[in-house]
Amino acid sequence: MSQMPSSSLLDIPTEDLQRCHDLLGPATWRSLAGQKIFITGGTGFVGKWLLATLLDANAAFDLDCRITVLSRNPASFLNDWPTIGGRVDWIAGDVRDFPIGTERHDVIIHAATDVVAQASPQDVFSTCLEGTRQVLALARASGARRLLLLSSGAVYGPAPAGMTHVPETYLGGPDPLLAASAYGEGKRVSEWLAAQACADGLEVHVARLFAVVGPHLPLDKHFAVGNFIHAAIKNEEIVVNGDGTPYRSYLYAADMAAWLWATLLRGKPGRAYNVGSEDALSILDLAHRVAQALSVQVSVRAVRNPPPAHVPQFYVPCTQRAHAELGLPPSLGLDESLKRTARWHGHAEDSGGKV
pLDDT value of residue 1: 34
pLDDT digits 0-9 by tens, 234-259: 999 999 999 999 999 999 999 999 99
Angle formed by the axes of helices 283-293 and 334-344, nearest 10°:
60
Instruction: Give residue 347's pLDDT.
Output: 86
Q: How far apart are CA 346 and CA 182, in angstroms?
A: 35
What CATH number should be reported for the domain whose range is 213-249+277-316+330-355?
3.90.25.10
CA distances from 27 to 33, 98, 212 (A): 10, 34, 26
Q: Which spans in 25-113 are helix H?
A: 26-30, 45-60, 74-80
Rounded to an integer, the average pLDDT of 62-77 is: 96
pLDDT value, residue 116? 58
Segment 306-320 shows an average pLDDT of 93
- Percent of the chain residues topping a pLDDT of 90: 87
Q: What is the pLDDT of residue 7?
A: 54
Percent of the chain past pLDDT 70, that is, above it, reads 95
| Distance separating alpha carbons of residues 143 and 152, to the nearest angstrom | 26
SS3 content of the chain, % helix, strand, coil (to 5): 40, 15, 45
Query: Which pLDDT score, from 0 to 100, does residue 332 have?
Result: 96
List all residues 6 or more positions away from 295 whose beta carbon is below 8 Å from its beta carbon: 349, 350, 351, 352, 353
- Kindly report, residue by residue over 329-341, the tens digit of the pLDDT: 889 999 999 999 9
Residues 354 and 158: their CA atoms lie apart, in Å, by 38
The residue type of 338 is L
Quick one: average pLDDT of 14-18? Answer: 96
pLDDT at residue 6 greater than cutoff 50: no
349 band by pLDDT with thresholds 50, 70 and 90? low
Secondary structure letter of residue 317 according to DSSP:
B
- Give the pLDDT of residue 8: 74
* CB atoms closer than 10 angstroms to residue 337: 23
Q: Which of 39, 17, 26 is nearest to 146 (CA)?
A: 39
Give the tens place of pLDDT for each residue, 153-197: 999 999 999 999 999 999 999 999 999 999 999 999 999 999 999
Mean pLDDT on 24-45: 96
The string of pLDDT tens digits covering residues 217-233 is 999 888 999 999 999 99
Strands 146-152 and 203-209: parallel
